[in-house]
Amino acid sequence: MKSKFYTIFALAIGTLSFAQVGINTQNPQGVFNIDGGKNNAVTGVPTAAQLADDFIVTTSGSAGIGAIPDASAILELNVSQLASGSQKGFLGPRVALTAYNDASTIPNPALGLLVYNLGTQATFTFKGYVYWDGTQWRPLDGRSLQTGTISSLRCTDATLSPLTYTAGTPYQGTMSIPYSGGNAGVYGSQTIGPVNGLTATLPQGNFAQGSGTLNYTVSGTPTVSSPTTTTFPISIGGQSCSATVGVGKVLAPGEYQFFNYTLPATYVGLLSTQVGGTYDAILGGKLKLDLNFNASSNQGSGAVTYNPRLVNASSSNIKVWYSALSSVDRFRRSNVLLAPGGYMETDNGIYLNWGDNMNSSSTPVAATSSSDDSQEIETVDVIVDGIWYRIIVFVSVDNLNDTDPSNNIRRVFMTAQRMSAY
Ligand SMILES: [Ca+2]
Ligand SMILES: [Ca+2]
Ligand SMILES: [Ca+2]
């Protein structure tokens, strides 16, 4: 009774004398101060720790809980003085909105109104804080939560990076599929496959407003090797198509591709065997460009040491026409139906040797003859299933500027250009 009397007395005094009201305190801060813990200093400004259980309203109408509100804040909530294990959070209104643009569950929401959406309505399952932007509820990152739609999905332009995979070797890459006509709306996560041991996944996200690209993560251990393709059925944003990837690089009309390799000058065998699983000289997923080294190129001159070879790298027959012009010879065939794995050589052998200089001595020449049959280049025009490519093959032996033949290397340059639109 006694303490109540004093409190009421103090309150009355406060009200009369200073137009300030204190509850549980004779030393109110601001115009209204509840000292929940009744622990504030009787005079002076209470410490931050003493204010931890206070509710204060200032003369400007700002409110502070756990603190005298900062001058810049209309409302300050401060839990910094509460011990770890006893701290608290801000709990906003929790509602179950029915749609991204629901303006009736909360009638006429004010611009910037903030609520926590429970996501319990089947028509609007997003869980989290959302604010009203005047026309729709958006999460704090500002994206739209309307159902995402697109007007076209272009699987024909799907790309895979890295371009190729090898059976039995774990693969991780990205399949990109462009689209247009996006409404900036949201789409759910997807998992497609596995197809040929590969699974495509897409985390939930938002379409762009207009054109954009979907980036699926592709991972797994493939059961097939490129250029054998993998086809993922894609359905998103109201559009569906089949994305076929894994064929390898497909040149656009006019586009060049450079293939560069180095290998020992003494190696005998196929270039692709020497390079191994990263060998990528494959055109249109069908025609592998290979070189068959039949002898060491560590010779002076006059020896044929390799032959270019066109290989069917696909699992179906391919039809091939070619005409080859080397700097020594010329060859051609038409209407060749190559079986899967089958090959056709484009010359009777290409001169490749170390040539003039520096295997027993390093002597600059002032003048020399024009030819010694140590170097040759071949251009192959080839049509594969109706697409014309031009391939230029240039292999050199580099003696690395010393007189030791054992370190000599071959440098392989192959350039392929697609010469036709179809
Ligand atoms: Ca207090
Ligand atoms: Ca020849
Ligand atoms: Ca050398």
Q: Closest-lying ligand to the alpha carbon of 40?
A: 1
Cβ pair 400, 385 in contact under 8 A: no
Residues 238 and 278 in one domain: no
Residues 265 and 414 in one domain: yes
CA 196 / ligand 1 centre spacing (Å): 68
Q: Which domain holds residue 337?
A: 256-418
Q: Closest-lying ligand to the alpha carbon of 67?
A: 1
Alpha-carbon 94 to chain mean position? 36
Q: Closest-lying ligand to the alpha carbon of 46?
A: 1
Distances (CA, A) of 310 to 106, 122, 172, 263, 289: 70, 58, 30, 20, 5
CATH of the domain at 215: 2.60.40
The Cα–Cα gap between 409 and 388 comes to 32
Residues 410 and 264 in one domain: yes
Residue 98 belongs to a domain? no
CA 391 / ligand 2 centre spacing (Å): 16
Q: Which two tokens stand for residue 134?
A: 């005047």
Instruction: Give the end of a domain, one of 245, 273, 293.
Output: 245
Q: What is the pLDDT along the chain (422 residues), one digit of tens a residue?
A: 444 444 544 444 444 445 899 999 999 999 999 999 999 999 999 999 999 999 999 999 999 999 999 999 999 999 999 999 999 999 999 999 999 999 999 999 999 999 999 999 999 999 999 999 999 999 999 999 999 999 999 998 899 999 889 899 999 999 999 999 999 999 999 999 999 999 999 999 999 999 999 999 999 999 998 888 999 999 999 999 999 999 887 899 999 999 999 999 999 999 999 998 778 899 988 899 999 999 999 998 899 999 999 999 988 899 999 999 999 999 999 999 999 999 999 999 999 998 876 666 667 778 878 888 999 999 999 999 889 999 999 999 998 888 888 999 999 999 999 999 97
Residue 116 belongs to a domain? no
- Classify residue 335 by burial, with Cβ atoms within 10 Å: 0-12, 13-18, 19+: exposed
Residues 69 and 10 in one domain: yes
CA 48 / ligand 1 centre spacing (Å): 9
CA 406 / ligand 3 centre spacing (Å): 6
CA 396 / ligand 3 centre spacing (Å): 13
Residues 411 and 286 in one domain: yes
Alpha-carbon 134 to chain mean position? 34
Alpha-carbon 196 to chain mean position? 21
Instruction: Give the end of a domain, one of 245, 279, 305.
Output: 245
β-pairing verdict for 387-398 and 409-418: antiparallel
- pLDDT given for residue 300 in this prediction: 85
Residues 261 and 335 in one domain: yes
Residues 366 and 413 in one domain: yes
Q: Closest-lying ligand to the alpha carbon of 266?
A: 3
Instruction: Give phi and psi for 203, each to the nearest 5.
Output: -70, 160
CA 408 / ligand 3 centre spacing (Å): 4
Q: Around ion ligand 1, which residues have CB less than 5 A away? A: 35, 37, 39-40, 50, 53-54
Residues 160 and 191 in one domain: yes
- pLDDT given for residue 2 in this prediction: 44
Residue 192 belongs to a domain? yes
Residue 16 belongs to a domain? yes
Q: Closest-lying ligand to the alpha carbon of 27?
A: 1
Residue 31 belongs to a domain? yes
DSSP 317-376: -EEEEEEEEESS-EEEEEEEEEPTT-EEESSS-EE----SSSSS-----S---S--SS--
Q: Closest-lying ligand to the alpha carbon of 407?
A: 3
CA 404 / ligand 3 centre spacing (Å): 4
- pLDDT given for residue 357 in this prediction: 64
CA 331 / ligand 2 centre spacing (Å): 9
- pLDDT given for residue 362 in this prediction: 64
CA 34 / ligand 1 centre spacing (Å): 8
Residue 121 belongs to a domain? no
Domain count, the chain: 3
Residues 268 and 397 in one domain: yes
Q: Closest-lying ligand to the alpha carbon of 23?
A: 1
List Cβ neighbours of 290 (8 Å cut-off, separation of 6 or more): 270, 271, 272, 281, 308, 309, 310, 311, 343
Helical ranges in 137-276 per DSSP H: 271-275
Distances (CA, A) of 169 to 103, 172, 260, 286, 341: 53, 10, 23, 21, 21
Give buried/exposed letters for 343-380 (b at 16+ CB in 10 A, else e). Answer: ebebbebbbbbbbbebbeeeeeeeeeeeeeebbbbbbb
Instruction: Give the end of a domain, one of 27, 53, 77.
Output: 77
Place of tokens 């005298």: 68
pTM: 0.63
Cβ pair 78, 56 in contact under 8 A: no
Residues 260 and 378 in one domain: yes
Q: Closest-lying ligand to the alpha carbon of 362?
A: 3
Residues 22 and 156 in one domain: no
Q: Around ion ligand 2, which residues have CB less than 5 A away? A: 329, 347-349
Q: Closest-lying ligand to the alpha carbon of 54?
A: 1
Helices H / strands E in the chain, number of each: 2, 31
Residues 270 and 397 in one domain: yes
CA 88 / ligand 1 centre spacing (Å): 16
Residue 84 belongs to a domain? no
Residue 324 belongs to a domain? yes
The Cα–Cα gap between 238 and 134 comes to 27
Q: Closest-lying ligand to the alpha carbon of 406?
A: 3
